[in-house]
């Protein structure tokens, strides 16, 4: 029912709103929100997978260390100690990788979702102001028609006519204020959307670049640890 109501509201908005720009932006934000929610969910799964991997490696390191402590062959015991140490370092690095996913990508997607929701809220506020303006115009037309009928009546009630005249002035002021408010929020929203469209890509580029640089450093350290262990095992007679 909520989706049906939203669809009906959007249809009415599209028919009444003189500027197609805002309706297009509303659709664009809906699409962005769906994609970002999928991205956020996938990133959370990625973080969970990295944490599981780090925990499994840490458990493996402890198990190998236990084997090393009971191994009677000195050379094999030392090799197992080095393997346990390497697995422990790699586990720490994968835990750091999970943290990198969280800090650079999960938080980024969460912040973008917040920005999208804020934009949708602003568009909803504009629709509310627009409807207030149109309602005020409808009330003004109705009141003017009422005044015309009174003026055409055989006998005029001067007191009622004065009251309607005052009410008309009040309604005219309300229409002017609502229209002014609507025009202002439309201008401000357009300006903010331009900034949002420019900054979101720059922000995405920065977050992705920082993440990839950190991920590269982590993978190089993982490789360094395994190369160090391989160098040790190659020296075993």
Distance CA 180, CA 173 (A): 10
Res. 95: pLDDT tops 70:
yes
The verdict on residue 74 lying in a domain is yes
Q: What is the pLDDT of residues 49-83, one digit of tens each?
A: 988 988 999 999 999 999 888 888 888 888 889 99
pLDDT at 164: 86
Q: What is the pLDDT of residues 173-227, one digit of tens each?
A: 999 999 999 999 999 999 888 888 877 778 778 888 888 898 899 999 999 999 9
The verdict on residue 8 lying in a domain is no
Identify the CATH number of the domain in which residue 69 sits: 1.20.1270.60
pLDDT at 8: 46
The b-or-e profile of 33-44 (16+ CB within 10 A means b, else e) is beebeebbeebb
pLDDT at 12: 47
Residue 102 and residue 46 in contact, taking contact as beta carbons nearer than 8 Å: no
pLDDT at 15: 45
Residue-number span of the structural domain to which 198 is assigned: 25-234
The verdict on residue 57 lying in a domain is yes
Distance CA 202, CA 106 (A): 17
The verdict on residue 10 lying in a domain is no
Here the tokens at position 158 are 């001067």
Q: For the residues 107-129, what does the mean pLDDT come to?
A: 89
Task: Name the region of 17 (left: φ>0; alpha: ψ -120 to 50; beta: rest).
Answer: beta
Going by pLDDT thresholds of 50, 70 and 90, the confidence category of residue 11 is very low
Res. 14: pLDDT tops 70:
no
The verdict on residue 128 lying in a domain is yes
209: CB partners within 8 A, 6+ apart: none
Distance CA 5, CA 44 (A): 31
The verdict on residue 9 lying in a domain is no
Q: How many CB atoms lie within 10 A of CB 105?
A: 21
Look at the chain and report how many structural domains it folds into: 1
The verdict on residue 14 lying in a domain is no
Distances (CA, A) of 103 to 9, 67, 128, 206: 37, 37, 37, 13
Say how many CA atoms lie within 13 Å of 86 toward its Cβ. 18
Percent of all residues in the chain with a pLDDT value above 90, rounded to a whole number: 38
The verdict on residue 20 lying in a domain is no
């Amino acid at each position: 029912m909520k989706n049906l109501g939203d669809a009906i509201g959007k249809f009415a908005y599209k028919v009444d709103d003189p500027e197609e720009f805002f309706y297009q932006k509303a659709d664009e934000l809906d699409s962005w929100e769906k994609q970002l929610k999928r991205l956020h969910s996938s990133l959370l799964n990625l973080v969970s997978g990295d944490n599981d991997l780090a925990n499994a490696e840490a458990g493996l390191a402890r198990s190998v260390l236990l084997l090393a402590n009971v191994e009677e062959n000195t050379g094999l015991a030392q090799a197992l100690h080095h393997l346990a140490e390497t697995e422990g370092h790699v586990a720490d690095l994968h835990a750091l990788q999970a943290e990198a996913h969280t800090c650079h990508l999960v938080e980024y997607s969460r912040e973008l979702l917040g920005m999208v929701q804020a934009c949708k809220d602003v568009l909803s506020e504009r629709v509310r102001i627009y409807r207030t303006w149109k309602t005020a115009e409808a009330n003004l037309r109705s009141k003017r028609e009422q005044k015309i009928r009174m003026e055409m009546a055989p006998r005029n009630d001067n007191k009622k006519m004065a009251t309607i005249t005052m009410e008309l002035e009040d309604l005219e002021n309300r229409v002017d204020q609502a229209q002014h408010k609507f025009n202002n929020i439309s201008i401000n929203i357009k300006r903010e959307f331009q900034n949002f469209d420019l900054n979101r890509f720059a922000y995405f580029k920065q977050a992705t670049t920082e993440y990839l640089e950190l991920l590269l450093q982590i993978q190089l350290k993982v490789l360094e640890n395994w190369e160090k262990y391989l160098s040790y095992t190659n020296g075993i007679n």
